[in-house]
Amino acid sequence: MMSSRAGSILLRHAGSRLFTAAAISPAAASRPLLAGGNGVPAVMLRLMSTSSPAAPTEAKDEAAKASKVGGDKKAVVINSYWGIEQNNKLARDDGTEWKWTCFRPWETYTADTSIDLTRHYEPKTLMDKVAYWTVKSLRFPTDIFFQRRYGCRAMMLETVAAVPGMVGGMLLHLRSLRRFEQSGGWIRALLEEAENERMHLMTFMEVAKPRWYERALVITVQGVFFNAYFLGYLLSPKFAHRVVGYLEEEAIHSYTEYLKDLEAGKIENVPAPAIAIDYWRLPANATLKDVVTVVRADEAHHRDVNHFASDIHCQGMQLKQSPAPIGYH
């Protein structure tokens, strides 16, 4: 009877000290129970301190603060271990927020629409004639398929037109690495062309919504054209650039016909997409006609660059021997 009462008293005494161990100093905790210490292992102390009911409350408070800071936008900010800034905001010249991530304010420009649109390279050699009639033969099925649906036609045209600059720039890049030599700026010039053509596509995606079979056609045409142009550039860069020069001449013709239908009222002259207004620095009240006009000017510049590149090769020189027209468009 006496032993059971002594045991219960000892248990109550140890239990009260055990469950108040969070406030016990580490020095006291490390002493044995019979030596006047608390006898609670340090590991148990850490477990009890981390399982404190205050921890979930603090986590909830932090989450509430984060939601208040984010507001209704619920913006997701990716914390990068590498120190890359994700929340740096850009602004236009008027101070309004820049909303595009696919291009930056310093990449925009005002198109030079005064360029000569009627310039044409007359085929002289057999290679020139093959390049010319190759492009003409590609125009025939395009006219049949799209007829006068110039919005969809432009969209298809730009999916093809953005390929040569990327292929040429890539092959020149690899050549520069293999031979430990400079490119004369032509890598950058050709990649600029590819990016400019891609922005044309992003613009016309806002104007013409492609149907499912047109998307399938894009995949097929792009796959065939990429591989054909890749092999063509490896075999003869002067032929490849001449083909692109003639392709751009056909693009100028197509956009001229597009403008004729817009002026005649056959196609509605809708407001310009916001992406086009910012990319070409167009006025806020710009229309589709303004967009087609600046795109046509871009194609004329690409025509000149590619015919120029072909001429360099025809003279027995390499592109690196003549400075590239960077930023020509």
Task: Give pLDDT tens digits for 79-109.
Answer: 667 777 666 678 777 778 888 888 888 889 9
- Domain ranges for the chain: 126-321
For the segment 193-206, what is each residue's pLDDT rounded down to a tens digit? 999 999 999 998 88
pLDDT for position 133: 95
Range 224-235 burial, b when 16+ CB lie within 10 A, else e:
ebeeebbebbee
* C-alpha span between 48 and 20 (Å, rounded): 10
pLDDT for position 43: 41
Half-sphere exposure at residue 136, Cβ-oriented, CA atoms within 13 angstroms: 7
**Residue numbers of the chain with a pLDDT score lower than 70:** 1-80, 85-88, 329
Average per-residue pLDDT for the chain: 80
Range 315-325 burial, b when 16+ CB lie within 10 A, else e:
eeeebbebebb
Amino acid sitting at position 48: M
Q: Is CATH 1.10.1530.10 correct for 126-321?
A: no
* C-alpha span between 171 and 319 (Å, rounded): 12
pLDDT for position 50: 44
Say how many C-beta atoms besides its own lie within 10 A of residue 37's C-beta. Answer: 15
pLDDT for position 218: 84
* C-alpha span between 279 and 201 (Å, rounded): 12
What are the residues whose beta carbons fall under 8 Å from the beta carbon of 243, sequence distance 6 or more? Answer: 131, 134, 135, 164, 229, 232
The pTM assigned to this predicted structure is: 0.72
Place of tokens 């140890």: 14
Q: Give the largest Cα separation in the chain, rounded.
A: 122
